[in-house]
Structure 1
Amino acid sequence: MDADVLKPVDILLVEDNPGDARLTREALKDSKIRNNLWVVEDGVEAMDFVRRTGKHTEAPRPDLILLDLNLPRKSGREVLAEIKADEDLKSIPVVVLTISKADEDICRAYKLHANCYVTKPLDFNQFLTITKSIEDFWLTIVRLPPKTGC
């Protein structure tokens, strides 16, 4: 059996809304795939996490990033642009998970090389369904890049 199958998947959630972070944690808690969910609340901390700087020097390289667009200190758009412009980070899949349904935000996210764009529903059960769908696709169907990057 492949040793990577036994290792948990590291997911970085970049979310400033504690309620949405809690819902995401709950939805992933009963995941079919073992995972570690790491949560940061703003864009500056997200970049520290992925670059392993500041208080995040021991942070794992995320296998998947769930990124809100509307963040304090540094927007999700800026975070996405920085990650996708960095040779060492750009292979990490980034799922934009945000409240915005604006075509401008959707187009801009894809131009910045988001791997997908998902609009958060306001309904609790729909939010859980969306999170489970992300989990099913990204953690079960998709083959993620190696921890060492590509």
Structure 2
Amino acid sequence: MISSENSRPAAEGANEKEPVKIILAEDDKDDQELFIDALDEAQVPSEVTTVENGQQLMDSLRDKSQPDPDIIFIDVNMPVKGGKQALEEIKGDKDFRDIPAVMLSTWSHPSDIEESFEKGADLYVQKPNSFAGFVMVLKKVFFLHWAKALLRPAINLFFVSEKNTSESDL
């Protein structure tokens, strides 16, 4: 498990934002780095812990020496225990079910999106093809969806991709 502090204060003094505690479950090291770099570029003050599969994600959540995350990003396709299985365990556990869970996938197949929605995911994000796209998507997740969509989203707000995110949304 890798822990990375990506804290960038929004302002000095009393207005300084508390960093968002994030667990990123992603088996691809390049995608982990891309995610963390995009968060930094999007100016999301954060503390990111990375794990490489669904089993490590569950172990990390159950580790009482660590605080619960504010949000979890889960790659759908991972070895050992896949993202959908981990999501099902998270949403079935009274201690973790209220933590927002965002599914990440290169796929945008309607059945995958629907299944993730039914299992309780809060958002389904199609991984962008570019760094700029990843920055835009993360801005949308954190600045537009945090307040409204993560409070049990409507299906039309559930799927986020680079194609349905524009600069004018931000």
Measured in 2, the distance between the counterparts of 1:59 and 1:31 equals: 25
Select the residue among 87, 98, 101 that pairs with 1:94: 101
Q: Is this contact kept in 2: 1:40–1:46, CA < 8 A?
A: yes
Q: Is this contact kept in 2: 1:27–1:132, CA < 8 A?
A: no
The TM-score, its normalising length taken from structure 2, stands at 0.72
Q: 1:70: which partner in 2?
A: 77
Measured in 1, the distance between the counterparts of 2:41 and 2:126 equals: 22
Q: CA deviation at 1:6?
A: 4.6
Q: How large is the RMSD of aligned CA atoms in angstroms? A: 2.3
Unpaired stretches in structure 2, ≥5 consecutive residues = 1-13, 152-170
Counterparts in 2 of 1:106 and 1:36: CA distance versus 1, 3 Å: same
Structure 1 residue ranges, 4+ long, deviating more than 3 angstroms after superposition: 30-33
Unpaired stretches in structure 1, ≥5 consecutive residues = 146-150
The TM-score, its normalising length taken from structure 1, stands at 0.81
Measured in 2, the distance between the counterparts of 1:49 and 1:10 equals: 13
2:40 counterpart letter in structure 1: K
The answer to whether residue 23 in structure 2 is matched with residue 12 in structure 1 is yes
Select the residue among 2, 13, 28 that pairs with 2:39: 28
1:7 counterpart letter in structure 2: E
Counterparts in 2 of 1:138 and 1:65: CA distance versus 1, 3 Å: farther
1:105 counterpart letter in structure 2: D
Q: Which has the higher contact order (CA 8 A, sep 6+)?
A: 1
3-state SS of 1:97 partner: strand
Paired residues in the alignment total 137
